[in-house]
Each structure stands twice: as C-alpha cells, then as structure tokens.
C-alpha cells in the first residue's frame, strides 16, 4: 500500500474533468497493461475530438490550395485557413491578422525573428536571454551573433528558479538590442515577470520577444497588454496539431524585417530584374502553408474557449498543489524549480536514481513523464545535474493521476534504495 497521507482537498467544482477526458480518446487506453497516465504535456499535449474532427472535415469537404481564388474548394479552404488566423488573433488579442504569421512552431518563429533582426545587429551589440531558456531561444541568437559579431548574454536565475531581477537590471545597457525571454519555463514552470521586463526594455528602445510555448497551454496572453514586439508559440503544446505554430509581431516590426524565406506566396511581383514582397502576413509565409493544421489549431483554441478558463487554471493549480504536498512521501525527492508563480510543471530528482531510470520504471506502470535535459542544457549546468525527471500537467489530468504518480515513485524509490 502506498502512503498518500496528505488530504486530497483541492478540487474544482466548476470543472468536470471526467467529462473533459471523454473529449480526448487517446487518454482512455492502456499502456503496458495499465491505464495511461499522461504527464508529458509540456513536450506535447493531446488533441480533443474537436481538433481531429475539424481536420478530418477539412480534408473531406474543402481541401484545396489557399489564396488561389480559382474555384469553390479553394475559396472554402482559404476561408477556413484565414478564419483560423482570426481565431489566433483574437486569442492573443493582436490588433490585426496581419500581425499573425504561421510558422512550423516556436522554434521556427524565433529563427524567423533572429534572422529578420540580423541586419540591425552589429559587433558589440547584446542580445539578452536568460539562463532558463529552451535551446530554441538560445541557439538561433547564437547563430545570428556569430554572423553579426553581437553577443548573447544570459540573465542569471536564483536557486529557486526565478529570474534574478538584479542581474536583469545590471545587464540592461546601451549595447542591449534584443530581450528574448521565456514567458514560462519548460523545466522549472516559472512564470516570468515579462510585462515588467518588456516595459523596462521598451524604455530603452530594446526589441522584445517572448517565448510563449509553455505559457499558452495554461493561460491566455494579451500581446497588447504585454506590449512585446514578438510572441511565439507552438500549436502542438496547445492541444492542436503538430507542424504549425504562430509568430505574433507588431506590424511596424514585421514591416521593417526582410522576408525569412523566398518562394511562392511571399511575393508581390517577380522578375529577373527585381522582385517585390507581398503584404503582411504573407511576406513571411513562403510556399504552401500547413492548411489543415491551421484549421486544427483554430479548433483547439475554440475548444479551449468553450470552457471557463479561470476554472481550468484553478484545476491545474490544484494538480500542482497536490503534487507539491506529496513530495514528502517519497524519500530523497527534491523539486527543481520552486518559484512563487508557476505553470503546472514539476521537475524533480530522487537521490541515488538516474532520471532516465525513473522514466523507464514509470512507463512500465503506464505513466508517461519526460526525463533528460529538456533542451535546456545551460539550466542543467546551473543546477549541476545531467537531467531531471519532469511531470507536466494539463487540464485533463486528475488528482487521482497525481496520486498514482506518487504511488509509483514510492515504488521506484523502494526498489532502488
Ligand atoms: C519554452 C519552450 N520554447 C520553445 C520550445 C520549442 O517548441 P517547438 O519544438 O514546438 O518549436 C519548447 C518546446 O519544448 C519550449 O518548451
């Protein structure tokens, strides 16, 4: 018998998780002879029937290429595709759909911005990131720094996994050109004080980019209130399909940047003498886009909008609270990342156990978590660990599943010590 002696008090009345789970067919299967407990949502979230149906319907009823205007199917596909862009605009509270660029995901969105800003960067300029960034918000900047002579400078973090605001303030200077920071950390769960940081950066004329990959699955950002120049996220972490993501950019910033890739759709006119670019957002969308995926992402956002988002957030918070309460039931277990403001992500280590062994043994019990460096090697170096185990929760997870995780961890811990 496991010892989960902490009272299970946190429940959300307004939130019927049982009914919600019916919307996610993948969750009701057995893995390794046990009911699946999916706690790897930070890596990629599962898709509701609404998304599967929207993509199926698109392919059955309206698929054609977009923006060609030659026939009815093309018009239907274009309407669905551009309708999804409007859904994203509204989700982010952007001013206009011309500020919403489809990309393959957060990674491509950040690469697009880094390349687009390269002509403005010169030797000695500084690009401020943080010690808790995903490689997707480090490496593109390093590549651009290499090309331009600029420097990537990391903001320090505290042992609790919060941004060290003194370090941030001391690093802002006349050479700082870009601030590229994650809204929420994929390893620590920390929600960063991005509005305050953007405001300080703006006052110095610094261009700002927020990596929203881990934020949008848990709360809705308002890009006008944040006042950032760019905001990036991936559909697949937001319960939508893989292969598509979003770059929000302020119109003036996007207009000032050169295109990222050349090809069809992104041009106004091509000749061997001179080629001119299409208007926004198409200037940044070379080639046939991921049409069905855009439709799927639109459906995912509409699905999320059909719930009381506050109740959803409260339910997720209850999962994290429950997990925090149970840590003491596993001898030698330590949480990495204890910031005050967190999305429901729990990285941890257990004394004497390698993270990958924890992952394998949990998988045998039907529990999916992520182990490794989580594409955040500088952060692993900061904590002096090769990797961590990470459980990341979504609104469809239950308190029972959190309990199952800890019962399984107790078993693993007993087995090895
Ligand atoms: C904070 C953060 N940024 C960027 C990414 C990269 O996202 P994608 O692989 O979907 O481009 C991830 C993925 O885990 C992430 O967690």
Total number of domains in the chain = 2
56, part of any domain:
yes
Q: Which mutation among 132, 141, 213 tests ligand 1's pocket best, with the greatest number of atoms within 8 A of CB?
A: 213
pLDDT, residue 233, reads 99
Answer with the one of 246, 278, 305 that is the final residue of a domain.
Answer: 305
Whether 228 is catalytic is no
User: In degrees, to the nearest 5, what angle opens at C-alpha 33 toward C-alphas 30 and 34?
Assistant: 60
12, part of any domain:
no
Between CA 106 and CA 235 the distance in angstroms is 9
> Residues of the chain whose pLDDT is less than 50?
1-13
pLDDT, residue 2, reads 41
Helical pair 49-61 and 72-92, crossing angle rounded to 10 deg? 150
Asked whether residue 343 falls in the same domain as residue 263, the answer is no
CATH number of 68's domain: 3.40.640.10
162, part of any domain:
yes
Q: Which residue has the tokens 């050169």?
A: 258
Between CA 241 and CA 292 the distance in angstroms is 9
- Burial class of 311 by CB neighbour count within 10 A (0 to 12, 13 to 18, 19+): middle
111, part of any domain:
yes
pLDDT, residue 14, reads 55
Asked whether residue 399 falls in the same domain as residue 290, the answer is no
**Active-site choice (375, 385, 386, 411):** 375
Between CA 248 and CA 251 the distance in angstroms is 9
Answer with the one of 271, 305, 339 that is the final residue of a domain.
Answer: 305
Q: Is the peptide bond before 64 cis (omega within 30 degrees of 0)?
A: no
Asked whether residue 259 falls in the same domain as residue 334, the answer is no
9, part of any domain:
no
10, part of any domain:
no
Start-to-end C-alpha separation, the chain: 18
Q: Kindly give, in sequence order, each residue whose CB lies less than 8 Å from that of residue 159, ignoring residues fewer than 6 positions away.
A: none
pLDDT, residue 166, reads 97
Q: Which domain holds residue 398?
A: 17-48+308-416
Nearest atom in ligand 1 to 374's CA = 14
pLDDT, residue 70, reads 85
Q: pTM of the predicted model, to two decimals? A: 0.96
Greatest Cα pair distance in the chain: 77
Asked whether residue 193 falls in the same domain as residue 333, the answer is no
351, part of any domain:
yes
Asked whether residue 206 falls in the same domain as residue 347, the answer is no
Which residues surround ligand 1 with Cβ inside 6 Å? 105-107, 134, 136-137, 182, 186, 211, 213-214, 234
pLDDT, residue 417, reads 74
Q: Per this entry, what is the length of the chain?
A: 417
pLDDT, residue 416, reads 83
Asked whether residue 338 falls in the same domain as residue 290, the answer is no
């Amino acid at each position: 018998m496991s010892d989960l002696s902490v009272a299970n008090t946190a429940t959300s009345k307004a939130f019927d998780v049982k009914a919600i789970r019916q919307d996610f067919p993948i969750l009701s299967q057995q893995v390794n002879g046990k009911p699946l407990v999916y706690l790897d949502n930070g890596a990629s979230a599962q898709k509701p029937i609404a998304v599967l149906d929207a993509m199926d319907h698109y392919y059955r009823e309206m698929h054609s290429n977009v923006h060609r205007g030659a026939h009815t199917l093309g018009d239907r596909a274009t309407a669905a595709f551009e309708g999804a862009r409007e859904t994203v605009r509204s989700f982010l509270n952007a001013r206009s759909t011309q500020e919403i660029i489809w990309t393959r995901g957060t990674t491509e969105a950040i690469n697009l911005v880094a390349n687009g800003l390269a002509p403005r960067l010169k030797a000695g300029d500084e690009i401020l990131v943080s010690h808790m960034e995903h490689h997707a918000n480090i490496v593109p900047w390093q590549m651009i720094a290499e090309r331009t002579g600029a420097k990537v400078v990391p903001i320090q973090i505290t042992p609790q996994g919060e941004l060290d605001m003194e370090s941030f303030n001391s690093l802002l200077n006349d050479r700082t050109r870009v601030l590229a920071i994650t809204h929420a950390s994929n390893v620590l769960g920390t929600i960063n004080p991005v509005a305050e940081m953007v405001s300080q950066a703006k006052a110095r004329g610094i261009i700002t980019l927020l990596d929203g990959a881990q934020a949008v699955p848990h709360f809705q950002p308002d890009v006008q209130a944040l006042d950032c120049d760019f905001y990036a996220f991936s559909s697949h972490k937001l319960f939508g399909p893989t292969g598509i993501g979003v770059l929000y950019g302020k119109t003036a910033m996007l207009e000032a940047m050169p295109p990222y890739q050349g090809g069809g759709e992104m041009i106004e006119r091509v000749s061997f003498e001179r080629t001119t670019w299409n208007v926004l957002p198409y200037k940044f969308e070379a080639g046939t886009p991921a049409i069905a995926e855009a439709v799927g992402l639109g459906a995912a956002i509409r699905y999320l909008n059909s719930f009381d988002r506050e109740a959803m957030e409260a339910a997720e918070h209850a999962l994290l609270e429950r997990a925090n309460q149970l840590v003491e039931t596993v001898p030698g277990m330590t949480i990495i990342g204890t910031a005050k403001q967190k999305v429901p992500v729990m990285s941890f280590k257990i004394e004497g156990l390698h993270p990958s062994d924890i992952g394998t043994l949990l998988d045998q019990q039907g529990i999916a978590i992520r182990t490794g460096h989580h594409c955040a090697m500088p952060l692993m170096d900061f904590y002096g660990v090769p990797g961590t185990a990470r459980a990341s929760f979504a609104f469809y997870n239950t308190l029972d599943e959190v309990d199952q995780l800890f019962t399984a961890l107790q078993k693993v811990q007993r087995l090895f010590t």
